[in-house]
Chain A
Amino acid sequence: MAASTKKAIKISQKHLLGIQDLSISDIKLILSESKKFISLNRSSSKKIDILRGKTQINLFFEPSTRTQSSFELAGKRLGADVMSMNITNSAIKKGETLIDTAMTLNAMHPDIIVIRHQDSGACNLLSQKVNCAVLNAGDGRREHPTQALLDALTIIDRKKRIDGLKIAICGDILHSRVARSNIYLLNMLGAEINIIAPSNLMPNDIERLGVNIFTDMKKGVKDCDIVMMLRLQNERMTSSFLSSNREYYEYYGLTPEKLENAKKDALIMHPGPMNRGIEIDTHLADDINKSVIKEQVELGVAVRMACLKIFCGK
C-alpha cells in the first residue's frame, strides 16, 4: 500500500468534536483518506508506520465494544502507541473531575485523545484543557462524528452517491447522538432525511435542522433508499418513555412488511449494538442483500484511521 503523501493534509479544525464544526471540504478530505485505508485493512499486512512515535490515549467513560476496539485497532495499525484508560479502576471513581483527569493526561504529552463521555459537551470541555487534538467518540446525545462518517462512507460505497438519496432514520432520536451527527452530515451531502419516532422520543424543533418528521413508520420509510435503525437505549431513559418493548416493535420495529414501503433496493443500516426483536427483525438484520451492518463496522476502522492520521497532522 502506498505510504502517506509527502505533504501534511490540512483540515480546518484542530479537534474532531462534531460534524457541525466541519466544512464540506473537511468531510470530502476525511472520506477520501478513509477510502485509501479500506484495502489496507483487507490485506495480509495491515500495518503502516504513519503514526509511529505518536501517543494515542483512549478515554472511554461509557462502555463501548465496537467504537473503542475500532479506535484501538485503528491507532495500532497506524503504528501509534495506544493506551486505553480503564475508567472503572480510575481516579474518576474516586471523584476526580474531568478537568483534573484531562490535566493529568496532558502532562504525559499525548498526541491525540479519543474521548467518549455520557455528558454532552464533555469533549468540548476537554479540548479546552489539553494541548493535543481531541477526537469525539460520542458525547451524551450530542454528536458521534466518526459514526456519521463511516455511515456516509458505507452509503457511498454501495450507492455510489449520497446527493439525492432519501434516507430514513428511525428510533430513539431524542437521546441519539448518532441521529444528530447523521442529520448534519447527510444534509451537507445533499440527502433528504425522514426522521421517524414516537412523539415521546422526538426532540423539540428538530425539523429546524432540515428534516421531515414522521410518527408513522410506514409513511416515513416510503420510497427511501436507506433505512437507518437506532437502538432503543435503555440506559439513557431515566423514566418511562414507552409502554413496552413489544408495542414499540409493533409500531417502530423494522419488519419485512414495513420495509416493503421503501425502495426495492433499499439498504438497512444500524450503528450497533442491535436489540434483535425490539427495533429490528432478526432475519432482516442478517439479510446479506439488504443489511450493510457488518460493512459499517469494517469501514469504521478505515474512517477512524483516516481521522487519527488527519488530526495528528500527518
Chain B
Amino acid sequence: MKKKYFLNANIIDPFNSINEIGGLIISENGKIEAIGKKVNQNNIPVREKFIDLKNKYILPGIVDMRVFVGEPGYEYKENFKTLSKAALSGGVTSVVTMPNTDPTIDNVSIVDFLKRRGRDKAKINIFPSASLTKNIEGTNMTEFGLLQKKGIIAFTDGTKTIQNTRLMLRIMRSAYDLDSLIMQHAEDLELSKDGMVNDGIIATKLGLQGIPDMAEKIIIDRDLNLLENFNCRYHISQISSSKSLEAIKQKKDKVKFTTGVSINNLSLNENDIGDFRTFLKLSPPLRTEEDRVSLVEGINKGLIDVIVSDHKPEDEEQKRLTFAQAATGASGVETLLPLALELFHNESAKLEKIIECLTSNPAKILKINKGNLSTDNDADFCIVDLYKPWVVKKNRLVSKSKNTCIEDKKLQGLITNTFVKGEELFAYK
C-alpha cells in the first residue's frame, strides 16, 4: 500500500507517554514509521498528499478484554465478521473473546478452528481465551500449557466462577507453573442464585430477586487470599461495587493482580433500569450511584486497570420477555470508546487515564504488543472527533445484535476512521 501521512492531530499514546499535537506517517507495509510532534509538513515529500486532521485525535486501537462472540454455536447473535465490523466502527482493533460458545473453547482442536475463523473472517486482532474448566462445568481443569501453545491468551470461565476453593487453589498453582493468565468472573453462585438486579431498594420496588454485592466481594476476598501463596497472573474480570473496591485496595500492596470494570458500571446505575428495561439486565448488575462513583474513583486512583465493553450480543427476542425470563447482557463493543469519553467530557476522569485503561493497560496484562503507537509496530489506530455530538440509535448499530443498554444516549466523541495494519477498515458515513 501507499505510505500515509496525517498532520495536525492530537496524539494520545499512554504507552509511550505521548500527548501532543503532531503527525503520523505510516509505511508501505502498514507499520508506524514516525509519530508525534516531530512529524510536520517538513517531513512530507512535496508531491505527497497528506490528511489534515484539524485537531481530531489519534488514539491507539482499543484493546477490549471482554467480548463475547457467537462463533461457534450462536452465530445468529454475532459472528467473527459482524463482530469485526462492529469493533472497527468503535475504534476497537484487538479483542479477547470469551470461551462461552457451543462447543466451549476448552481443548486444542477447537482452538485451531477458532484461530482460522478469526483470521479469515475478522479484520481485527482476535485473541481467544479458553475456559478454566472442561465444558465450563467448574470441575476439571483444562490443559493450560497445550492451549497456550496453540495461541490461547488467557483462561476464564467467562460468565461462570470457580466455586470450589480447592480447585481454585490448584488452578492458581498450574497457572503459576505455566505463566498462564487467569481471569475470574467474581460471583458466588449460591449468594447470587436467581438474582437479576442489585439487592437494594430497586429490587424491592420492582419486586425482583437481588444479587448482594457480597456475592462479588466474597470471591475476590477468597482469591486474593489464595494468591498470597501462589501469585500467578490473576485478573478480576469485572467489579461492580465499592465493597469490592475496598477489598482490592487492602490487598493491592500484598499481592500482584489486576482488575477490570465494564463501561456499563462506570456510566449507569440501578435507577437506569427504570420500568423493567431488560436491556439493562447485566451481570454483574448495575448497582447504586455511590458504587458507580467509587468505581470511577478507582480508575482515577489506579486501583482499576482496565475498562471493558463486556460485549454480550443477544437476540432481541431473548430480551422481549419479562425481566425474569430475559437474557442477561448488553452489546457494546462499538460504543465502548465513546461511552468512556463521557467520563472525560463530564470531568470525572482524565483523558489519558481513560485511554490508558483501554489500550496500554490491557495490552500489558495480556502481554501483547498492541494498544500503542510505537514506531515499527503495526499501525492499529483510530481517529476520533472528540467533541462531535451524536445520539446512540439501535438501528444504526453495526453489531448483529442490537441489545444496547444506552439507546438514545447523547454522547460526544465520534470515531471517524479506524486503521488496522495501516489499512483503513472503517470510515464514518
Contact = CB atoms under 8 A, between A and B. Distances in A.
B194 A120 contact: no
Interface in A171-197: 177, 180
Contacts of A99: 320-321
A91 interface: no
A208 interface: yes
A137 B68 CA distance: 39
A142 B324 contact: no
B128 interface: no
A25 to B, nearest CB: 23
B275 interface: yes
Interface stretch (B163-171, B196-204, B389-397): B196-204
Contacts of B207: 120-121, 139-143, 177, 180
B325 interface: yes
B206 interface: yes
Interface string A137-157: 001111100000000000000
A206 B210 CA distance: 13
A119 B320 contact: no
B387 interface: no
A121 B194 contact: no
A140 B203 contact: no
B271 interface: no
Size bracket, chain A contacts:
20 to 34
A273 interface: no
B200 to A, nearest CB: 5
B320 A124 contact: no
B203 A203 contact: yes
Interface in B195-246: 199-201, 203-208, 210, 212
Size bracket, chain B contacts:
20 to 34
A191 B305 CA distance: 51
30 contacts: A97-B317, A98-B321, A99-B320, A99-B321, A117-B322, A118-B324, A119-B322, A119-B323, A119-B325, A120-B276, A121-B206, A121-B207, A121-B208, A121-B323, A121-B324, A124-B275, A125-B322, A140-B207, A141-B208, A142-B207, A203-B203, A204-B203, A204-B204, A204-B210, A205-B200, A206-B204, A208-B204, A209-B204, A238-B194, A239-B193
Contacts of A120: 206-208, 276, 322-324
Given A139-B207, A142-B207, A205-B204, A124 B276 contact: yes
A122 interface: yes
A99 B325 CA distance: 12
Please name the 5 residue pairs, one residue from A and one from B, whose CB atoms are nearest each other, closest first. A142-B207, A120-B207, A119-B322, A121-B276, A141-B207
Contacts, number: 71
A64 to B, nearest CB: 17
A117 B207 CA distance: 12
Interface of A: 20, 97-99, 117-122, 124-125, 139-143, 177, 180, 203-206, 208-209, 238-239
Nearest to A117: B322
A209 B205 CA distance: 9
A225 B199 CA distance: 32
Nearest to A202: B204
Contacts of B194: 238
A204 B206 contact: no
A208 B200 CA distance: 10
A142 B206 contact: yes
A95 B10 CA distance: 55
Interface in B173-208: 193-194, 199-201, 203-208
Given A119-B323, A119-B325, A124-B276, A140 B204 contact: no
Nearest to A142: B207
Contacts of B325: 119
Given A20-B205, A204-B210, 13 more contacts: A98-B321, A119-B324, A120-B206, A120-B207, A121-B322, A121-B324, A141-B207, A142-B205, A177-B207, A203-B203, A203-B204, A204-B199, A204-B201
B280 to A, nearest CB: 12
Interface string B297-340: 00000000000000000000100111111000000000000000
Nearest to B209: A141
Contact of A205 (B201, B206, B275): B201
A205 B323 CA distance: 21
A150 B322 CA distance: 27
Contacts of A119: 322-325
Contacts of B320: 97, 99
Nearest to B210: A204
Given A119-B323, A120-B324, A121-B206, A204 B200 contact: yes
Nearest to B321: A97
Interface centre among B204, B276, B321, B324 (most CB of A within 10 A): B204
B355 to A, nearest CB: 37
A175 B37 CA distance: 63
A204 B320 CA distance: 28
Contacts of A118: 324
A181 to B, nearest CB: 10
Given A97-B321, A124-B276, A125-B322, A140 B208 contact: yes
Contacts of B321: 97-99, 125
Contacts of B323: 119-121
Nearest to A121: B276
Nearest to B276: A121
Nearest to B196: A120
Interface string B68-111: 00000000000000000000000000000000000000000000
